[in-house]
Chain A
């Protein structure tokens, strides 16, 4: 079956631009997670949704980061006024429910110049 998909796979932005990253979870998966992964480090939690409800956004690094999942399926992570320190791979994962195994998408590599 289809796994988690993310788009775009690569994004280059000039500092100060806004970007939007999309995640399409596995069909039927209730929970959706966003992580940020810097080179040589493990994924760092950003936020997660159960259906359309954003239950935890404690990992969002600043108010420039915003995530939504309006219909409980596709999710968008938006970064406003990008900075060089935002350069990383952004990973989306989904799971059947909150405490089940998470399955990751291929990630979006964001480079801010």
Chain B
């Protein structure tokens, strides 16, 4: 079992809909949680970071963290075709600076 699990997808939503991306992690000591967007052939780009339980909103993006359930999610409202990409969930532990990544969920937003 990988330390960070994501549904590989592909996840397809129509333009304007809400896209919901999910991630679970195994290390209960994890402290920092990140969502990255990666376009094909490009490097990961940070979208959101979240450190405490609850919701964090930034524009069309909302990250949700539930440490008890070891679950973090990303909601994208009013999805646009330009949101089509692979979304990577990353988790950092209390005693390690490194981030452990999931394999990503591929999102396609159809016009």
Contact = CB atoms under 8 A, between A and B. Distances in A.
B46 A107 contact: no
A99 B100 contact: no
SS of B interface (majority): strand
A40 B100 contact: no
Interface footprint category on B = 20 to 34
Nearest to A106: B43
A8 interface: no
Nearest to A34: B98
A3 to B, nearest CB: 10
B97 A103 contact: no
B68 interface: no
A99 B43 contact: no
A102 interface: yes
Interface of B: 4, 31-32, 34, 36, 42-46, 49, 88, 90, 92, 96-104
6 contacts: A42-B104, A48-B97, A48-B98, A56-B96, A91-B43, A102-B99
